[in-house]
Structure 1
Amino acid sequence: MASSFPLVFSVTSGKGGVGKTNISVNLAYCLSKLGKRVLLLDADLGLANVDVLLGLAPSLNLFHLFHEGARLDDIIYATPYGFPILPASSGVSEMLELSTGQKLELLESMDTLEDKLDYLIVDTGAGINENVLYFNLAAQEKLIVLTPDPTSLTDAYALIKVLKYNHGVERFKVLVNMAPSPSAAREVYIKLYRACDQFLSGVSLDLLGSVPFDPAVRQAVIRQQPFCHLLPQSEASASLRQAAERITTWEAATELDGNIKFFWKKILFQEQSVA
C-alpha cells in the first residue's frame, strides 16, 4: 500500500443471520494470507462472537478497556490464523451503548496501531442502533452483507437509508452471501441498486462479489475455524479469496481521512457539535 496509514472498513448488515461475522473472519484470514497486516475488531459489543467462530477464549476484551483499566495491547488477542482480534464481550448490557468518553478512549488507544496495520476490519452489530451507526461512520469503506432473503434486502436498504439521510454517507460496497448462483446474487444486488437509485439519490453501490451457499461453511462453523482455512478448495473459500484480492485494490488511506486517530476523532467531534 502506498500509504503508511491503514484502511479501515466495516462489515455490516441490516439484519442478523446473514453471515456477517463469518465473512469478517474469513476476509481477515484471506487478507493475512496475501501478506497484509490485519486486525479484526469485534464491534458487536454486547453480542460478540468473533472469538466463538474462531474457537478462542480470550480472558480480556473491550469491557476491560472501558471498565477495568486494561490497555489495548493487553486485549489484542493473537489467533492461529495469521491475524489478531480485538474481542468484545457478550451478554454485558453496559457495552450496548458507548459513551462519548468511551469512544474517545477507544480511538486514542487505536492510535498506537497506525503504523502496524494495513487493514482494520470492523465487524459491526446488525441493524441501525447507535453503536452500529458509529462504527460504520468511523470506517472509510462500508461493506454491506446481505442474502437473497427479502427481509435481508429490506433491512440492508434501511441501513443505507439511515446512513445516507442522517449522516450523509453515499458510498457502499455490497457482498451477497449464501447465494444459490452467481446470477441470483447479481439479481439481489440489482434489486438493492434500483431501490437506492430510485429513492436515495446520490448513493453509490459497488458489488464486491458473492459467496455461494456452501455446506462447507456450516462445517467450518461447527469446527470453529475459518472456512477458508479448513476447506480452502470449497466454492465459498474461492469466492472470499477473490473478494479479498479486490479489497487490496481499494484506495489506501490518506493522512487526511485515513489516519485512525484523525478519522475517528473527526466522527467524535461531529457528534459533540450536534449535541
Structure 2
Amino acid sequence: MELAHSVQVVAVTSGKGGVGKTTVAVNLSLALASRGRRVVLLDGDLGLAGVDVAVGVIPRYTIADLMEGRCALSDVLVQGPGGVRIVPASAGVESMVNLSSTQHAGLIQAFNDIADSLDVLVIDTATGIGKSVISFARASQEVLLVVCDEPASIADAYALIRLLNRDYGINRFRVLANMVPEYQGGRSVFAKLTKITDQFLDVSLQYVGAIPYDECVRKSVQTQRAVYQSFPRSQIAKAFQSLALRVDAWPLPGSPRGGLEFFIEQLISNSRG
C-alpha cells in the first residue's frame, strides 16, 4: 500500500564551515512551512548542536537520548517557529560524532514513525566529509550544497562532491550561492565551481539561486530567531521564498537510489508488494 503522499528529503550541506549552511536550512524550512508544507528539520550535526540555538528552543530530549533508547523520535521532536518541527542534536557528546554505519541506519530508520505526518524533511548536516555527512547525503533524495564566493569554500565543496560522486555514486547536486554581495550574481560563484567539476568529474550541478548578504542575518542570530521570521519583508526573506518555491517543485524519484535507501524506502512507501 502506498503512502497518501510522498516526502521530499533534502540534505543541506557544505564543504566547509562559516558559509551559512544552518541559516539556509532553518530559513528554507520556515519558507517551506509558510507554503503549507509540514516540515521537520533534523539537526544532522550530531555532536555539535546548532539548530536549537539558532531558533531559541530548549529541547527536553535530543538525538543522543533517542540513540540510547531513552525515548522515541516523537519525544525528541520540538515545536519550532512557523510550525516547523525540529529534531535537535546533542552538544558536546563525543559518542554522537563517531556513530557507526549501523547506528546511522537506525537513526534514519526511526523516521518511519513520523512519515505520515510530514511533507518535507530538511537535514542540516555537519560540515566536511565525516561519516554523518556521507550517510545523510546518501540517504537523501536531494543534496543542496551551500557555497560562498571564497576559494576555500569552492575547493572544499569540490572535495565533497568528488567524494560523494566517486565513492558513493551521487551524480546530481543542487548548488546554492550564499551571502552573495549586492550587485553580484551567484552565477559567478556557480561558474567557479563548475569550472573545476567539469574538468575532473562526471556530475550534474544545478544552480538553484543565490541568497544575498544581509546584515539582518547577524541581527537575527543575536536574538536567536530566524531571519525569515524576524524580517519577513527583507530581500533575504524573499530569496528564501524563491528557494522554497524551487525546492517545492523538485520531482520525487520513483525508486530508491544507492546502497543506503533508508529515507526513500521508509518515507516514500511503507511496503513492497
Structure 2 match to 1:26: 27
How far does residue 80 in structure 1 lie from its aligned partner after superposition? 3.3
Structure 2 match to 1:9: 10
Aligned residue type for 1:37: R
Query: Who is 1:44 aligned against?
Result: 45
Residue of structure 1 in register with 2:144 after alignment: 143
Instruction: Write the mapping of 1:74-113 to structure 2, written as runs, cut at 5 A.
Output: 74-113=75-114
SS of structure 1 residue aligned to 2:187:
helix
Report the more deviating stretch, 246-255 or 138-147: 246-255
Contact kept? 1:174, 1:189, Cα under 8 Å: yes
Residue 253 of structure 1 deviates from its aligned partner by 4.9
The share of aligned pairs that are identical, in percent, is 39
1:178 match: 179
Say which SS state the counterpart of residue 149 (structure 2) adopts.
coil
- Give the TM-score normalised by structure 1: 0.90
Q: Does 1:229 align with 2:201?
A: no
SS in 2 for 1:65: helix
User: Whole-Å Cα distance in 2 between the matches of residues 108 and 172 of structure 1?
Assistant: 24
Q: Give 1:263 shift.
A: 6.2
Residue 244 of structure 2 corresponds to 244
The Cα of 1:259 is off from its aligned counterpart by 7.4
CA deviation profile, 1:30-84 (whole Å, cap 9, x unmatched): 0000000110000000111000000111010000011142111110111132110
**1: CA distance between counterparts of 2:262 and 2:46?**
23
The number of residue pairs the alignment matches comes to 262
In the alignment, which residue of structure 2 is the partner of 1:260?
263
- 1:127 aligned partner: 128
User: Structure 1 pair 108/263, CA: closer, same or farther in 2 (3 Å)?
Assistant: closer
In 1: Cα distance, 2:6 partner to 2:37 partner: 13
One-letter amino acid matched to 1:180:
P
AA in 2 matched with 1:211: I
Separation in 1 of the partners of 2:81 and 2:41? 13
Give the conservation status (yes or no) of the 8 Å contact 1:6–1:259.
no
AA aligned opposite 1:262: E
Cα distance in 2 between the residues matched to 1:114 and 1:255: 17
The residue that corresponds to 2:59 in the other structure is 58
* Counterpart residue identity of residue 75, structure 1: V
SS for the counterpart of 1:142 is strand
Aligned position for 2:270? none
User: Are 2:104 and 2:135, in contact at CA under 8 Å, matched by a contact in 1?
Assistant: no
Cα 1:182–1:132, aligned 2, differ >3 Å: closer, same or farther? farther
Q: Match of 1:216, as an amino acid?
A: C
Give the partner amino acid of 2:12.
V
| Farther off after superposition, 53-62 or 105-114 | 105-114
- The secondary structure found in structure 2 opposite 1:174 is strand
Name the aligned partner's letter for residue 44 of structure 1.
D
In the superposition, the TM-score normalised over structure 2's length comes to 0.91
Residues 139, 182 of structure 1: CA spacing in aligned structure 2 closer, same or farther, 3 A cutoff? farther
Structure 1 unmatched runs, 5+: 265-275
Conserved? CA contact 1:107–1:261, under 8 Å: no
- What amino acid maps onto 1:200 in structure 2? L
**For structure 2, which runs of at least 5 residues remain unmatched after alignment?**
268-273
More moved, 72-81 vs 242-251: 72-81
- Residue pair 1:62, 1:75 contacting (<8 A) in 2 also: yes
Aligned counterpart, 1:269: none
Give deviations 1:5-43, integer Å, cap 9, x for gaps. 201110000000100001000000000000001100000
The one-letter code of the counterpart of 1:26 is N
Inter-CA distance 263–193: structure 2 relative to 1 (3 Å threshold): farther
The answer to whether the 8 Å contact 1:253/1:259 transfers is: no
Local SS of the residue matching 2:249: coil
Whether contact under 8 Å (1:108, 1:261) holds in the other structure is: no
Describe the SS at the equivalent of 1:126: coil
